Amino acid sequence: MRISELARVTGVPVATVKYYLRAGLVPPGRATGATQAQYDETHVQRLRLARALVQVGGLTVAAARDVLSAVDTAADGSLHDVLGAAHTGLPPRLEDEGEPARARSLARRLGWQVHPEAPSLAQLEHALRALDEVGAPADDERLGEYADAARRIAELDVSGVPTMSPDEAATTVVIGTVLWEPVLLALRRMAQEAVSAEHFAQP
Amino acid sequence: MRISELARVTGVPVATVKYYLRAGLVPPGRATGATQAQYDETHVQRLRLARALVQVGGLTVAAARDVLSAVDTAADGSLHDVLGAAHTGLPPRLEDEGEPARARSLARRLGWQVHPEAPSLAQLEHALRALDEVGAPADDERLGEYADAARRIAELDVSGVPTMSPDEAATTVVIGTVLWEPVLLALRRMAQEAVSAEHFAQP
């Protein structure tokens, strides 16, 4: 298909498609002339994913390109590598703040095999420090319950990754990480309201 | 205590303290002279909370002021009102995108009492639409499992809110909403890595 058709199918304006092509978020089409190229279903998929990362994930175009290229590179390795590449490329990226000692120790206690340099450990450490700073440090019981819930969700996430095609696996991992995070947060707030209504609402 | 002491105790630079005072994030101290004021423990708490909202929650100063003043106002009402004020004031704030029909219908199916205009419904609807757009629509089973996990977490969140002091309740709700979200997301990514290591890692 031509670029106008690619834009029509995905609902992405032609100008944005051209921008994403120039920025390397979407691979070039097959040149069919000096100013024309043909695109196929892989471009449709990639364009949708790129737009979702930018518009829903809130990634900058540069960050989205980094994630996609890290994931493309890792797609030759194991699914575990793809997941690592997605997590490393995705925000939030925190400034180096020293060793995530508490997060590592929690992972050990839970028996979770997490790479000592995984960005998720720094994210947790940062969040725990913020709780200290407001004088409301995380207690082990609540952390443990959160970890249980996170683990159940992660089992579901990982079991849903298709193992046959590395490309599809990569796409699924990126979608699962970026696009399901807002689902989880929205459901948590909805559930908080529902539980609070049951306990506290004045008639 | 004087402003220098307030800065020392909280670790917030004096210039930032002054900025937060001017912006209305922290209430004024008790004037003890033309250019001097006294601050107390309530200022320490509020300053820490304001900083956490801005630095960890990623709120703008204006958004943080809106949340804090909404919560202060609601603190005269029920805890349920405080929760509503916190959710309404906190990001993400989405453009109006039409009725969150699917999110409302999910809440009904779950038996969750959620206000039809609650921002969490719009957040969920937005996230579901993004999943549609990348060609990976949310299936009911996965949504249901996420909802179960969210509900368990929310029970814990709400049970931890102190019921004796409306001020403390408000603070706890804001902290629970903003500062525990990154904890949950970090734990989910850690768990994904751990589960993936068990299933897929190449030795």
- In this prediction, residue A133 has a pLDDT band, given cuts at 50, 70 and 90, of confident
- In this prediction, residue A81 has a pLDDT band, given cuts at 50, 70 and 90, of confident
B124 in Cβ contact with A183 (< 8 Å): yes
| A to B CB pairs, distance under 8 Å | 302
For residues A135-151, give the mean pLDDT: 92
Q: Could B80 and A196 be called an inter-chain contact, meaning their C-beta atoms sit closer than 8 Å? A: yes
Q: Taking Cα atoms as reference points, which of B141, B176, B143, B182 lies closest to residue B159?
A: B176
Q: Could A199 and B124 be called an inter-chain contact, meaning their C-beta atoms sit closer than 8 Å? A: no
HSE, CB side, 13 Å, CA atoms: give it for residue B111.
Answer: 3
DSSP state of A38: E
A76 in Cβ contact with A35 (< 8 Å): no
For testing the chain A interface, which of B187, B195, B200 should be mutated: the one with the most A CBs within 10 Å? Answer: B187
For residues A124-153, give the mean pLDDT: 91
A62 in Cβ contact with B164 (< 8 Å): no
Return the pLDDT at B190: 95
- In this prediction, residue A106 has a pLDDT band, given cuts at 50, 70 and 90, of very high
Q: Could B195 and A155 be called an inter-chain contact, meaning their C-beta atoms sit closer than 8 Å? A: yes
Following DSSP, what letter does each residue of B65-76 receive, concatenated? Answer: HHHHHHHHHHTT
Rounded distance between C-alpha atoms, residue A203 and residue A141, angstroms: 33
For residues A49-65, give the mean pLDDT: 83
> Does residue B138 carry a pLDDT above 70?
yes
Return the pLDDT at A86: 78
Q: Choose among B113, B127, B155: nearest Cβ to A56.
A: B127
Q: Could B136 and A112 be called an inter-chain contact, meaning their C-beta atoms sit closer than 8 Å? A: no
For residues B106-116, give the mean pLDDT: 94
Share of chain A above pLDDT 70, in %: 95
Return the pLDDT at B26: 93
Nearest CA in chain A to B58: A92
- Helices B180-200, A166-178: crossing angle, 10 deg rounding: 160
**Tens of pLDDT along A162-176?**
776 766 777 788 888
Rounded distance between C-alpha atoms, residue B10 and residue A89, angstroms: 33
Residues of A in contact with B133 (CB under 8 A): 11, 48, 51-52
> Global pTM?
0.85
The complex's ipTM works out to: 0.86
Rounded distance between C-alpha atoms, residue A171 and residue A162, angstroms: 10
> Does residue B51 carry a pLDDT above 60?
yes
Return the pLDDT at B132: 87
For testing the chain B interface, which of A25, A71, A104, A153 should be mutated: the one with the most B CBs within 10 Å? Answer: A153
Residues of B in contact with A119 (CB under 8 A): 189
The three-point CA angle A45-A47-A49 to 5° equals 70
The set of residues, in sequence order, having a beta carbon less than 8 Å from that of B29 and lying 6+ positions away, is B3, B37, B38, B39, B40, B43
Return the pLDDT at B124: 94
Residue labelled with tokens 């925190």: A94
Q: Could A181 and B188 be called an inter-chain contact, meaning their C-beta atoms sit closer than 8 Å? A: yes
Residue labelled with tokens 């996170």: A150
Q: Taking Cα atoms as reference points, which of B48, B185, B109 lies closest to residue A147?
A: B185
